Structures are given as C-alpha cells and as structure tokens.
Amino acid sequence: DIQMTQSPSSLSASVGDRVTITCRASQSISRYLNWYQQTPGKAPKLLIFAASSLQSGVPSRFSGSGSGTDFTLTISSLQPEDFATYYCQQSYSTPWTFGQGTKVEIK
Amino acid sequence: QLQLQESGPGLVKPSETLSLTCTVSGGSISSKTYYWGWIRQPPGKGLEWIGSIYYTGSTYYNRSLKSRVTISGDTSKNQFSLKLSSVTAADTAVYYCARIYYYGSGSQEWTFDSWGQGTLVTVSS
C-alpha cells in the first residue's frame, strides 16, 4: 500500500497568514493526488484534485502543487472559515489511501 | 443538487454484521461517469477507504477489509449498500458514502467529489 505522510500534524496560524501543508507519498504517484478539508462534525470537502486543479466553488486562495512523491497545499491568506483539518489522498493505486491529516488551529 | 444520505443501525454487537445504505438524490448511480464508495473514520482518527462500486456492479475493496466487506447497488432505488461482517470494536467509526468522480482519460483520475454527512456506528455489546 502507498503510505501518505503529511507534515506538520498540526499548526497554529493567524488570520491572513500564508499556510503551507506538505504531503509525501511512499512511492511516485505522478499527479494523482487530492486534497480535502474537514471541519469538526462534518464530512470532508474536496478542495483540489489532480494535484493542482481547484474544485468548482473553492476559493482561489487555495492552491496545490507537486508531482511524484512531494506535494503541497497552500492557503495564501488564511480566513476564519479555513481553520480545519486537511487531508491528502492518492488515487494512483488501490487501496486509495489518505494522509493522517494536518490540523490548522487559531494562534 | 446531489445529496447522499447514509442510513442504518447506530449500534452493532461484536461478531455481527454492520449494514448501511446510501440513498442518492439529485443524481443517478447508473451514471457511467462515477463510482460510488464508502469511507470510514474512527473517532478522532483519519480516513480509510473501504471500497467502491460501479454501475456495472464491479466492485473494488480495500484488501485490509476485503474478506469481510460486500458493497452492492440497487439502481431501482438509486441506493448502494455496505455490509461488514464479524465486526469488532475496531470497526467503530463514522461511515461516509461518497461519489467518486472520474476526471481524466486514464485509469487513475479519481476523486471523492461529494460526500454524505456520515453516520456513527458503534460496535458494542
């Protein structure tokens, strides 16, 4: 199985900060990488697919990059509604696997 | 607008079978563009893909659960279902159903683009 490792596991940031989350795959997954946002008690929400394609309706402050084994999710200017847990997920091979999550908290 | 709604017992006894149904509205599980799947999340933990089904009836399961999982579809009711047998406390989780969108031209361009609200299933005697 492909292991997905996110860093950091948590971070504290302020409104307006630029935030970067990293996801590393245990083997090359090309660009078959998705990012999700989950707020407490809610289902995950798709933000980015194919490493860098913004899902319809998602604010442009979210962006994704990377290929192969290393990927990043960037929030250019953190908003109050962005405090949540973020997950990466690979679709290169089954079983599709998720990272352990990165919790973004208010500083 | 697409909506997915999970339903089923919230409490299952150890060694019994967990059964959940996902009812889809605003879209059809017979669509050739989508798979449909189940994902679970133990309390306070991360996400685990359980398996998926295509309109043809083809299924794909996480091999860690494969011996205990069955996913089936009912196109007449626009529903798909999950059965997980021989459950233990480790199967306690929020179970989500989701639509899986195929966005590309190859065999790996898949993403979970729409999710149900999730349902908590507790395994306890």
For A52-62, the pLDDT digits (tens) are 999 999 999 99
For residue A8, the one-letter residue type is P
Residues, chain B: 125
Instruction: Report d(CA B122, CA B87) in Å as an integer.
Output: 10
Instruction: Going residue by residue through chain B, which has 125 residues, state the pLDDT in tens, using 9 for 90 and above.
Output: 999 999 999 999 999 999 999 999 999 999 988 999 999 999 999 999 999 999 999 999 999 998 999 999 999 999 999 999 999 999 999 999 999 998 887 788 899 999 999 999 999 99
A-B contacts (CB, under 8 Å): 61
Residues in chain A closer than 8 A to B115 (CB atoms)? 43-45
User: What residues in chain A have per-residue pLDDT under 70?
Assistant: none
Res B67: pLDDT: 92
Closest CA to B56 of B72, B77, B38, B40: B72
Per-residue model confidence (pLDDT) at position A53: 97
Max CA pair span of chain B: 48
Question: Which pLDDT score, from 0 to 100, does residue B106 have?
Answer: 79
What pLDDT is stored for residue A97 in this prediction? 98
A70-B39-B31-A89 Cα dihedral, nearest 10 degrees: 0
**B49 with A93: Cβ contact below 8 A:** no
**What pLDDT, on a 0 to 100 scale, did the predictor assign at position B105?**
79
Please state, in angstroms and rounded to a whole number, the distance separating the CA atoms of residues A94 and A39.
26
Pairwise CB contact (< 8 Å): A49 & B103: yes
Residue of B nearest to A54 (CA): B113
User: In Å, how far is B75's CA from the nearest CA of chain A?
Assistant: 25
* Chain-chain contact of A92 with B108 (C-beta, under 8 angstroms): yes
Q: Which residue in chain A is spatially nearest to B110 when comparing CA positions?
A: A91
Q: What is the pLDDT of residue B104?
A: 84
Report in angstroms the alpha-carbon separations of A97 from A85, A101, B50, B62. Answer: 16, 12, 10, 9
